[in-house]
Amino acid sequence: MANSKWEYVKEFEQPDKLLPNTWIVVRIDGRGFTKFADKYGFEKPNDRRALDLMNAAAKAVVSELPDITIAYGISDEYSFVLHKSCHLFQRRSSKVVTTVVSTFTAYYIYLWSTFFPDAPLSPPLPSFDGRAVCYPTVQNLRDYMSWRQADCHINNLYNTVFWALIQRGGMDNKEAEKALAGTVSGDKHEILFSKFGINYNNEPEIYKKGSVIFRDYELVEPGSHQAAAEIDGLAEPTQQSKTQAEKDKKKRAKARIVVEHLDIIKDEFWDRRPWLLSNKPGKIPKEP
């Protein structure tokens, strides 16, 4: 029963290499999470336990795949960024995407009971889909990140008012929708404040800004490092010496992976953390 006569079927596999020298963003999304959130009674507009679980799973992904330089999450979605010089799995799209999705899913299920000790999982289980997108320049990448964080802000402001109108204003869904139709950002702040005494600016940062995960090194003074433009200009990164690559790897392994809720739209975030775009590990901060 030699299998050689069937091996021709391998020829039907199509290569799917992501264009070299571009930033790879793998975005994953919860499948059917509206229904899933209902099943487990997620709090509205934000369930802190659910977000913490997303962050814990994402942090594990970043930890297991050092090629990920930064990740950003809101609600039931997470974006993982691989550096443009990354050669993980020869940049095979399916392999990169499924590895991220599978690792994330594994930790989501595994850690569930830590965050929801009183609500054991039962089938159908939560799952995630994902895709990879290539961005040629730092500007494109940062615009992608800005787009997601702006979405976070817009959605959270809307949801905060919407659920206040329902939970504290006694409206039903339709009434709340109608009350918000055509309102702009300022109107929503106003409703929150005048009707419910809520100052939106005092809402928790995790809800307003989403969560950003990265390896932490000592912050640098803006302007003291390689400019984004230079990073774009890199063709293929010059082949590192093995010693240097080893050193970098060790530094990365030592770095603390942090989950923060910062503004990633403004330059400051990126300027003070040049390692995010340069892929050169920074200086490990001294233990406090």
Q: What residue numbers does the annotated binding site for GTP cover? A: 75-76
Site residues (CB under 8 A) for its own copies, limited to 225-264: 227-230, 232-236
**β-sheet with 211-216: strand ranges across:** 128-135, 23-30, 77-82, 68-74, 211-216, 256-260
Q: Which is nearer to its own copies, 104 or 115 (CB)?
A: 104
Q: Give the number of residues in contact with its own copies, rule: CB under 8 A.
A: 78
Site residues (CB under 8 A) for its own copies, limited to 105-124: 105-110, 121, 123-124
Output the smallest distance, CB 168 to its own copies, in A: 25
Output the smallest distance, CB 286 to its own copies, in A: 27
d(CA 135, CA 36): 32
Helices and strands per DSSP (H, E), number in the chain:
11, 6
Q: Mask: binding to its own copies, 59-98, rule CB under 8 A, as x and -?
A: -x---x-------------------x--------xxx-xx
Site residues (CB under 8 A) for its own copies, limited to 187-226: none
Q: Which residue ranges are tagged as binding site for Mg(2+)?
A: 29-30, 76
Output the smallest distance, CB 55 to its own copies, in A: 16
Among 74, 80, 86, 130, binds its own copies (CB under 8 A): 130
Q: Mask: binding to its own copies, 26-65, rule CB under 8 A, as x and -?
A: --x--x----------------------------x---x-
Radius of gyration of the chain from Cα atoms?
A: 22
Task: Strands of the chain (E only): list them.
Answer: 23-30, 68-74, 77-82, 128-135, 211-216, 256-260
Closest by CA position to 279, among listed 239, 242, 231: 231
- Residue pair 211/73 in contact (Cβ under 8 Å)? The answer is yes
Among 140, 159, 167, 183, binds its own copies (CB under 8 A): 140
DSSP assignment of 103-147 equals HHHHHHHHHHHHH-TTS---SSPP-EEEEEEEE-SHHHHHHHHHH
Does position 150 bind its own copies by CB under 8 A? yes
Output the smallest distance, CB 223 to its own copies, in A: 16
First to last CA, the chain: 65
